[in-house]
Amino acid sequence: MSRSSYLKPDTVALHTGYVPEGEYGSRAVPVYQTTSYVFESVSEGSSLFNVEQGGHIYSRISNPTVAVLEQRIAALEGGSGAICTASGMSALFMTFITLCSAGDHIVSATQIYGSTATLLKHTIKRLGIDCSFVPVNDKQALRDAIRDNTKMVFCESIGNPGLEISDIPGISAIAHEFGIPLVVDATFATPCLCRPIDHGADVVVHSVTKWMGGHGVAIGGVVVDGGRFDWQQSGRFPELTEPYAPFHGIRFWEEFGPSALVMKMRAESMRDLGASMSPQNAFLILQGIETLSLRMKQHVSNAKALLGWLQQQDAVTWTNYPELESNTSHRLAATLFPHGAGSMLCFGVTGGRKGGAAFIDALELSSNLANVGDARTLVLHPASTTHSRLTVEDMQAAGISPDMIRVSVGIEDIDDIRADFARGFKAAQRVAGAA
Amino acid sequence: MYLEVRGEKTYAATGGRDFDKSLPTVMFVHGSGLDHRSWALQTRWFAYNGYSVLAPDLPGHSLSGGEALNSIEEMGAWLADFIDASGADKVHAVGHSQGFLDVLELALRAPQKLKSITGIGTAGAIPVNPALIEAAQKSAGAAAEMLLMWGFGPDAQYGISAVPGMQPIAIGREIMARNPLHADLVACAEYKNGSAAAKAIEVPSQMILARKDRLTPLKAGLAFAEELGARVTIIERYGHMLPIEAPRQTLQKLRELIGSLENTD
């Protein structure tokens, strides 16, 4: 059951956040393609600006179509509220910048998406925010890395692209011991497979561009406030507990409690950074979420079937999927992902880097591109694309090898995916044979 | 703001402005297991439009210290002490659900402190299912879930929120799960003084009731409004949690009564 209503998750995905409204009773969520909203009076405008009442002022801050998506995702994740953003990266940046100021510190898992690693290691460092990286699930390293100025612990529920499962209960227990929130990027999982808040996470971030949208047509991100973290008791977050000058000295924790974080993000980050999601993109992602549960079942089923077949192929030198015993976190996968640990898998192909390139270039059905979570099967060579900006050492630490092929398994007929990959393996074997 | 009541640190929201006892004061009293945040979409309007606001967390709730009080009678007496501690002379008292029972008891004990009373999503008595009380004794979180599933009306169950992006039921659950819900529910179940209070109250009164209220059914609220001689508003479509589910309509009715008495609206 959702923590937001008596409706079950599959029903939430179709209905939450919207009931047919207005003169026309539109069954689908209308696209409010507008920048701004007419105030009934000067007094009403004033009260909206002063948070005396809820409502929409300007679509950089909030928009009715986007709000439906926010409320739906918050319900699916079991959070107290959510904010949608222009992209997954802007969701991460807004989270970091809301929780941290110059002089603060973050502890992050090493095994994360390359652009997130760059953001943490280089971009926010220019703003005076430092980040230490520790191997995911290394509890002692995490304890050792936490400092007096640490403001958050960060990990991905399924690491990209190494597919390590984060021990969310264990990591959150340590973070909470120090009065620090755990922020989890759950893009690879979706709430259909794992709800991090249920396991102790405090904030969940997604690139909804991926499985949530599911059709490769819209970029977007979301931040979900779990609503359970006590910002006052922590003592580390004066930004949330002390007066905030731009809003008449409002104290977000006192006024809003379990929704203090998202209220602060909307009041500050949406206003100042302006990384808002467009209503059209919100509409497209809502269409995807309606069938998320059905798609995830098929994604997972296909991933497991393809994995089993890959393991029998001579051209495949190794495979990785969170549930494989060779994956160090496979026990966590069984506990935290009872319905399957996603639809990403990786493998090595004979012929090394050249073999990998030949494999990808020979594919016809599968698409070679820098995205995951499309309904269609996608393949990529991380070492030369998404993680190419990392040093060799950083790449190794992130679990990436030169021969790695990353697959986002789609929902096509599994026979057709296998046939396509068989074509790729023949090409790789020709390269390997020639060498 | 924080003030000391009976030697305990007590929190009262003031709507974002400093409390000024020289202004007409509106006091908001929360329901079982809840806190001042129930009133977020009413208190700021009053505070920024010529009033002073007091929305206390009852003892043992959220930001207030002390132990939870065990009866509505004790809560009514505590409210009288709270008003004294604030320095306010008289208040317009607004109570949601159990908060209204507290206000009734305040009216019996200290009628001179009241200018008007408003009950929202409530009645003169609030019987509580023994199974819910038993659940609350074991786990406030589990009981909160039961209570809120019943308490919020259909729109909220479909994730409709007056504040963009929020999930009011999940927010309510987090607040209730940390508060002494069991003590509050027992106090509600045992309270029998509603009719006596109705006879004694002489200040203007109103009841704002919800058509879809399943916790304090409309029928019970209407019957008590008649006893009280209160003006009545029925808000369609919404459930028991009117201050959160229907904040604009609730605020409008409060403005109408209180504004008419203070000649400000």
Query: Would you write out chain A's pLDDT as a tens digit for each of its 435 residues?
Result: 457 778 899 999 999 999 997 789 999 999 999 999 999 999 999 999 988 999 999 999 999 999 999 999 999 999 999 999 999 999 999 999 999 999 999 999 999 998 999 999 999 999 999 999 999 999 999 999 999 999 999 999 999 888 999 999 999 999 999 999 999 999 999 999 999 999 999 999 999 999 999 999 999 999 999 999 999 999 999 999 999 998 889 999 999 999 999 999 999 999 999 999 999 999 999 999 999 999 999 999 999 999 999 999 999 999 999 999 999 999 999 999 999 999 999 999 999 888 888 999 999 999 999 899 999 999 998 877 877 777 778 777 767 888 889 999 999 999 999 999 999 999 999 988 886
Chain B neighbors of A262, CB-CB under 8 A:
165-166
With residue A130 as reference, give the H or E element that holds it: strand A130-134
Residues 9-48 of A with CB under 8 A from B: 12, 15-19, 47
Q: Tokens 């729109």 label which residue?
A: B155
Contacts of B86 (CB under 8 A, 6+ apart): B3, B12, B19, B21, B25, B54
Examine the predicted complex and report whether its ipTM is higher than 0.90: yes
Q: Do B162 and A53 touch (CB under 8 A)?
A: yes
Where do the domains of chain A lie, and which CATH numbers do they carry?
A: 9-288 (3.40.640.10), 293-434 (3.90.1150.10)
Q: What is the DSSP letter of B211?
A: T
Across the interface, whether the CB atoms of B166 and A71 are under 8 A apart is answered yes
Q: pLDDT, tens digit, for every residue of A255-291?
A: 999 999 999 999 999 999 999 999 999 999 999 999 9
> Distance between terminal CA atoms of chain B?
27
Domain range list for chain B: 2-262
Question: Would you tell me which CATH number, out of the four given (3.40.50.620, 3.40.50.1820, 3.10.350.10, 3.40.718.10), belongs to the domain B2-262?
Answer: 3.40.50.1820
Tokens at residue B64, please? 């207030």
**Of A15, A185, A186, A41, which Cα lies nearest the Cα of A117?**
A185
In this prediction, the residues of chain B whose per-residue pLDDT falls under 70 are 264-265
pLDDT in tens, B198-230: 999 999 999 999 999 999 999 999 999 999 999
Q: Per the structure block, which two tokens stand in for A12?
A: 């939430």
Tell me whether A255 touches chain B (CB under 8 Å). Answer: yes
Q: Please identify which residue in the block is written with the tokens 């100021």.
A: A101
Q: Which two tokens stand for residue A117?
A: 């690693």
Q: Which residue has the tokens 């102790």?
A: A200
- Residues of chain B neighbouring A5 (CB-CB closer than 8 A): 149, 152, 156-159, 169
Residue B18 contacts A where some CB pair is shorter than 8 Å: no
Residues of chain A positioned with their CB less than 8 A from the CB of B166: 54, 71, 74, 80-81, 259, 262
Q: So what's the pLDDT on residue A2? A: 59
Q: What is the dihedral sign for C-alpha B193, B198, B199, B204?
A: positive
Say yes or no: A57 contacts chain B, CB-CB below 8 A: no
